[in-house]
Structure 1
Amino acid sequence: MLLFGLLSVTAFAAEQTSIQPTLHMVAMRDGTKLATDVYLPPEGEPPCPVVLMRTPYGRAGGRGEAQKFCKQGYAFVAQDIRGRGQSEGHHAIIFRNGGWAKRRDGHDTLGWIASQDWCNGKIATIGGSAVGITQNMLAPGAPDVLKGQAVVVAFSDMYSQAAYQGGVWRKSLLEGWLNGTGMSEVNLKSFREHPYYDEFWADMNPEVQAHRVNAPGVFIGGWYDIFLQGTINSFVTIHNHGGPNARGRCRLIIAPIAHGVFDELKYPPNSKMPPAAEASRLFDYWLKGKSNGAEEEKAVHYYVMGDPTDKNAAGNFWRQADNWPVPAEPTAFYFHPDRKLVRGRPPGGSEALSYRYDPNDPVPTVGGQNLLLAKGPMDQRKIESRPDVLLFTTDMLTEPLEVTGRIYAKLYISSDCVDTDFTVKLTDVYPDGRSMLVTDGIL
């Protein structure tokens, strides 16, 4: 009981000394009011730069970040997006409400912050996953007060990355997420009514709006993340084609992580994020003009994965580059009818391989870029022996082979099904026989 009492007093004291927010109901252009918490730094006189987080998960989730940034001289603003938490309105269409279409909740929020006497006219945004997506959506055409972004594991095009990857409905990811967060109403029906890319999806495709983004960003992703391609595409489009304040000033960080924890492989301690990924350091450079070394860093930082179970194996280190894609030699491997994967030599004949697909017994997903399913690098041997899987294997490598960049599979196919999907996986076969997933795709 005494220990409990001491812990309670300590927790109460910590709560009392923490920076407390003030709640504002901020009106959007259509009159809908969004619940917005404002944290002000304890020292120094306003105005000051501001960090903004817009979230569907509850603005109280930003309390920890608020304490950190306020102690560094920033104000911090956390907002429930439309229809979530204490905010008014309906959440549909999720993410589009905060973009550049009819509703522009992100732009309106930036404008409100800029009008406050505690804001010095310089605002950055921060957050991951859905909170990263809200950043990507508000960036095109944003008011000039937006000076930087820290976007973690977020899509750059909702249709191709979150809804219909390769034209295939991402049932577990999107339907599971909408149901799990209580946002399936209106959203799910609307998404299923648009199976092909059209104007509906164009309003949720920040990639094509990159030329209208005029603030630099650090885009952080993982080799096994559900939105890996979105992270890369955000960087490539804005860093190379953004407005004058964004072009050439962005950062790309790719680590050996997924959208959550994976268990079958554990990468060494050096796989943790490098200093280039620190949002506060970049914000100090972009918003405060501090010379802290960020201005001298390479634009791209990516982790080269190796076998983490063998301390003598190649790989497991960070590389840096000026841009993406990194310099590399495109290398072709060919499927051969004897089930070999051969470098540089196409098969001589026109043989075809076939399999029978049973929709009542599909090949299960085992690891990879998942949200709610098991994720990350997982051993594929349990499915490679199935009769509806065509397996092609190289000869044993005699020296390390480093592969970095976009991987394509060109298939020549025929099917007697009206509609079917094809999945291709790339695995790394370890000396002990494990076939560990590197990446996969579907069409």
Structure 2
Amino acid sequence: MRRTFVLALTAAILGITAACGAAEETPKLQKSLHMVPMRDGTRLSTVVYQPADQKGPLPVIFIRGPYGKLPQQAAAGMCARGYVVVSQDVRGRFDSEGNDAIVFHNGGWSERRDGHDSINWITEQEWSDDNIASWGGSALGITQNMQAVDAPPALKAQWVMVAFSDMYSQGSYQGGALRQSLMKTWLKKHKFDPRSLETFLAHPKYDEFWEEVNPEARAADVHAPGIYFGGWYDIFLQGTLNSFETIHNHGGDGARGNCRLIVGPYAHGGFTELTYPENSAIPNAPQAGDALRYFDHFIKGIDNGVENDQPVHYYVMGDPEDNTAPGNFWRSADNWPPPSQLTPFYFHQNHQLSQAPPTTDGSLEYQYDPENPVPTVGGQNLFLDRGPKDQRKIESRDDVLLFTTDTLTEPVEVSGRIRATLFVSSDCPDTDFTVKLSDVYPDGRSMLVTDGILRARHRIGFDREDFLKPGEVYELTVDLWSTSLIFNRGHKIRIAVSSSNNPRFDTNPNTGSPIRADDKTRVATNKLYLSPTHPSHVTLPIFTAPATTGK
């Protein structure tokens, strides 16, 4: 959600100069500034770039964000293709009036509808032909998801990269635990009104406040089709997948059946411990992810083959250090998730991970001390080290339980949503449980693939709190989000279970009191059950069906 990241995406995806044609000069643009009035009288600073050499009303690419307006150079490639570009500072940011609290609550379908009001303003301008596409990544993608619900009919297409579709579960409280580093650091770094964070902290449960920023639940009211572009290690991965899945399959007329999904081995920024082949780079992503090509079809009606593209294109990761390893290619498919066999891998007393369920009673326990949490090492982060990082330095801790398969004799492809079912007890009224999936390389490195967390008080629902009774056994499900990876022969699959991942998530004090109500903490003794009646396990979606393979 950083400005530099957004500008990098602009260059990589639109190919700013390439979009103008390799032999063409950057087109001359006519630039104008406007203060666009919203329904409550607040005016938002908006820049309009028009191609100076094209007359008559033109289709519009509309961009809204909190990082400043799009520079002229970035707009040039779009204008060269016959579009007017409109870029706007959201409420309370830079030259726009109003207050930016509460962030992302001003541009959707609630009391303040800045996105809708701005689209209507565009249609009233003489340079607009009433056909509008939206574009942007990260925060500029989130604003699109918000304004797409019940949008004016002039919005005809979207290009949304790395954006959440449910601010509670994907942006703020994953598994009911605050995404501490992401939310606190982002809001502070970009100097948002402190009331945004204060309000988020005051709503730890899913309620009406969060319903206003859950476009995923309003997919049927989205009529503009979109390309949803994401990364396996991105902070909003599941939002990208869910946006496509809900709108493509259950969206309104126009959007349903016309969306595209592109997912590669990307994070919200770079990572260094593994380097995937050149074919994975964003400029080499499948043509179906080309924003301007997609807009040309849905905005201008150009017959350019978009209608023949398969809807889904995702990168199947493999061992990038072994040229003979399977994986590291783009696959095309008709939908997401792909066909798979949901296969349980059970945890055993001897720390084995296998498809054989336990036959004898067993359990393992550890002590979780909120004053000494497991530190974050890699994963779907923004301001922390991100991506696939070696977990060995934290796997040796006493408060981490490991379960590892035997060395694989054949490759195993995992593509889809991953969930862990834990049977647990605790001597505290509330605690957290974390689960990590790692790819163990032949040299011993344990490379993080994906992970998740669940705050026990929210095990039944994020809109309620149900506390634990000491000694009672509870079943709970930890969502690890999704991936597509082939575990190569000679590798191992590993699961790590613990109760903290800080500062990615805030630590649970284990007291049962409202989180952050005071500084009191308790050490929790948490027990994981491994028996025929309480078979803790992770369910992996093992890919089963053939699919079209791209480059």
* Residue equivalent to 2:295: 283
RMSD over aligned CA atoms reads: 1.4
Deviation for aligned residue 1:65: 3.1
Pick aligned residue for 1:301 from 302, 313, 322: 313
Q: 1:217 aligns with which of 198, 222, 226?
A: 226
Counterpart contact for 1:175–1:184, Cα < 8 Å: no
Q: CA deviation at 1:291?
A: 1.4
1:331 shift after superposition: 1.0
Correspondence for 2:146 among 114, 124, 137: 137
What SS does structure 2 have at the residue aligned with 1:287?
Answer: helix
User: Match for 1:347: what amino acid?
Assistant: P
In the alignment, which residue of structure 2 is the partner of 1:43? 53
- Conserved 8 A contact 1:46-1:118: yes
Q: Contact (CA 8 Å) 1:42, 1:71: kept in 2 or not?
A: no
Which piece of structure 1 moves more, 413-422 or 201-210?
A: 413-422
Give the structure 1 partner of residue 388 of structure 2: 377
Query: Residues 187-336 of structure 1: matches in 2 within 5 Å?
Result: 187-272=196-281, 273-336=285-348
Q: Distance in 2 between matches of 1:44 and 1:109?
A: 23
Give the partner amino acid of 1:362: P
The higher-RCO structure (CA 8 Å, 6+ apart) is: 2
Q: Give the C-alpha shift of residue 408 in structure 1.
A: 0.4
The 5-angstrom pairing of residues 89-104 of structure 1 reads 89-104=98-113
The percentage of aligned residue pairs carrying the same residue is 61
What count of residue pairs does the alignment treat as equivalent?
428
Q: For residue 17 of structure 1, report the CA deviation from its aligned partner.
A: 6.8
Deviations, residues 10-56 of structure 1 (Å, cap 9, x unaligned): xxxxx997525200000000010000000011222221100000010
| Partner Cα distance (1:130, 1:149) in 2 | 14
Tell me the SS of whatever aligns to 1:425: strand
Aligned to 1:431: 442
Report deviation, 1:328.
1.1
Q: Which has the higher strand share?
A: 2
Q: What is the rounded CA distance, in whole Å, between the counterparts of 1:359 and 1:307 in structure 2?
A: 35
Q: Is the 8 A contact 1:256 1:271 kept in 2?
A: yes
Q: CA deviation at 1:404?
A: 0.2
Q: Deviations over 1:317-343 (max 9, x none)?
A: 011111111111111100011100002
Structure 1 residues 16 and 124: CA distance shift in structure 2, 3 A: closer
**Is residue 53–residue 62 contact of structure 1 (8 Å, CA) maintained in 2?**
no
Deviation at 1:147, TM superposition (A): 0.4
Distance 1:16 1:264, change over 3 A: closer
Residue 108 of structure 1 pairs with residue 117 of structure 2: yes
Measure the CA separation in 2 of the matches of 1:118 and 1:108: 17
* Structure 1 residue aligned with 2:185: 176
Find the partner of 1:88 among 80, 83, 97.
97
The answer to whether the Cα contact below 8 Å between 1:43 and 1:73 also exists between their aligned partners in 2 is no
Q: Partner residue of 1:9?
A: none
Partner of 1:12 in structure 2? none
Letter in 2 for 1:370: N
For 1:322 and 1:132, locate their aligned partners in 2 and report how far apart those are by CA, in whole Å: 24
CA contact (8 A) 2:231 2:267 kept: yes
CA distance in structure 2 between the aligned counterparts of 1:293 and 1:82, rounded to whole angstroms:
38
Tell me the distance in 2 between the aligned counterparts of 1:371 and 1:125: 24
Does residue 32 in structure 1 map to residue 42 in structure 2? yes
Amino acid at match of 2:260: R
**AA of the residue aligned to 1:341:** L
In the superposition, relative to structure 1, how do residues 291 and 431 fare at CA in structure 2: closer, same or farther (>3 Å)? same
- The answer to which of 224-233 and 320-329 deviates more is 320-329
TM superposition score normalised by structure 2: 0.76
Alignment equivalent of 2:31, drawn from 15, 21, 24: 21
- How far, CA to CA, are the matches of 2:361 and 2:113 in structure 1? 55
TM-score (norm: length of structure 1):
0.95
Structure 2 alignment gaps of length 5 or more: 1-24, 455-551
Mapped partners of 2:330, 2:182: distance in 1: 30
Q: Deviations over 1:409-440 (max 9, x none)?
A: 00001111233211100000111111111100
Moved more, 287-296 or 246-255: 287-296
What whole-Å deviation, never above 9, does each CA across 1:102-127 have from its counterpart, x for those lacking one?
Answer: 00000000000011111111000000
Structure with the larger helix share: 1
Give me the whole-angstrom Cα distance separating, in 1, the residues matched to 2:126 and 2:212.
33
Q: Deviations over 1:237-290 (max 9, x none)?
A: 110111110000000111000011111011001112221111011001110111
The C-alpha deviation readout for 1:196-251, integer Å capped at 9, x for no partner, is: 00000000000111111001000000000010000001011110111110000000
- Structure 2 CA distance, aligned partners of 1:20 and 1:91? 29
The Cα offsets for residues 360-385 of structure 1, whole Å up to 9 and x where unpaired, read as 11111100000110000001111111
1:63: Cα distance to partner?
A: 2.9
| 328 and 42 in structure 1: CA distance in 2 versus 1, 3 angstrom threshold | same
Partner of 2:513: none
